[in-house]
Amino acid sequence: MNRALKEVLMSLLTFRRAAPAPVLGGALTARASIEVMPRTAAKVDSFAAILPAGTRVYIAHIDGTPIEEMVATAARIAAEGFTVMPHFPARSIESRAQLSDWIARYQGEAGVREALVLAGGIAQPRGEFHSSMQLLKTGLFDAAGFTRLHVAGHPEGNRDIDPDGGDAVVRDALRWKQDFANRSDAQMALVTQFVFDAAPVIDWARTIRAAGIELPVHVGLAGPAKLQTLIKYAMACGVGPSLKVLQKRAMDVSKLLVPYAPDEVAAELERARLAEPALGLEQAHLFPLGGIKASAEWLAARHLSQRAAAN
């Protein structure tokens, strides 16, 4: 066995013997929300058995999913004692009448009073709506008494909105959403796409605060998953600068042996939250890219760690 190969094997053995990193507490992750889809939720026997009490559960609406499946999933999870927040993707909603129907169904069958309002993941609208602002302008959410409305935030930009790679259109939209929040009875917050690096989020939060945007920020984190899975999702979803974190990790042989978990980025964000409260980093939102069970276990550990730290 040559010397170089022996050194690699020794480093791997050392890595495997290393003590696991301690679970870091913090309010950012202790009260984190999580996202599911009807097809993934169907694989979970009991959400109450795996999620901390009080967890907000978003229900992602992938284009083409029947509204009946969405509402049934919301009703089931709500019946287990969780607050549910279904997506309302503007480009998938054909008309004001359909939006009104969806709201009525969610409220009548699942008691929904919260929504994530966003443009949606398809390029061409199916009807009269193409942006979250158009849905909010209908006044239907306020009329129905929604108590919380979340909208999308883009720390790493969004080329669907700003094709030139800038942020002018996104920034104008944020100003409009801030104005809407000022006159709405609903609580509002910005929910970001998942990130792997805290720095772009912190810089973005400082920038929007300087521009007068005061909406709380819920930072998207990718739940525990294989590295290959994360890279696939990151490329598909257009995650930008923080993708370099995954690329760097892929070059580290020792880190290829274990699933990714968002411990480092969560810890850095928590430090920023404590050091700069004005950033408005309110909580984390977990995307269970490696499966709901793995993300639920990660959340539960954070929840217990925070409770222990408080005692």
Between 5-19, 153-167, 201-215, 283-297, the lowest mean confidence (pLDDT) is in 5-19
Does residue 217 surpass a pLDDT of 90? yes
CA contacts within 13 A on the Cβ side of 154: 22
The topology (CATH level 3) of 24-310 is: TIM Barrel (3.20.20)
- Domain ranges for the chain: 24-310
At 153-211, the pLDDT tens digits run: 988 755 555 445 556 778 889 999 999 999 999 999 999 988 888 999 999 999 999 99
Is residue 301 very low, low, confident or very high in pLDDT (cuts 50, 70, 90)? confident
What percentage of the chain carries pLDDT values higher than 90? 62
What does the pLDDT read at residue 184? 94
What are the Cα distances from residue 101, in Å, to 87, 95, 104, 140? 14, 10, 5, 10
Q: How far apart are CA 162 and CA 171, in angstroms?
A: 10
pLDDT at 238: 55
Condensed to tens digits (0 to 9), the pLDDT of residues 28-38 reads: 988 899 999 99
CA dist 155 and 200 (Å) reads: 6
Region of 159 on the Ramachandran plot (φ > 0 left; ψ -120 to 50 alpha; else beta) = alpha
**Dihedral angle, C-alpha 297, 298, 301, 307, nearest 10 °:** -120
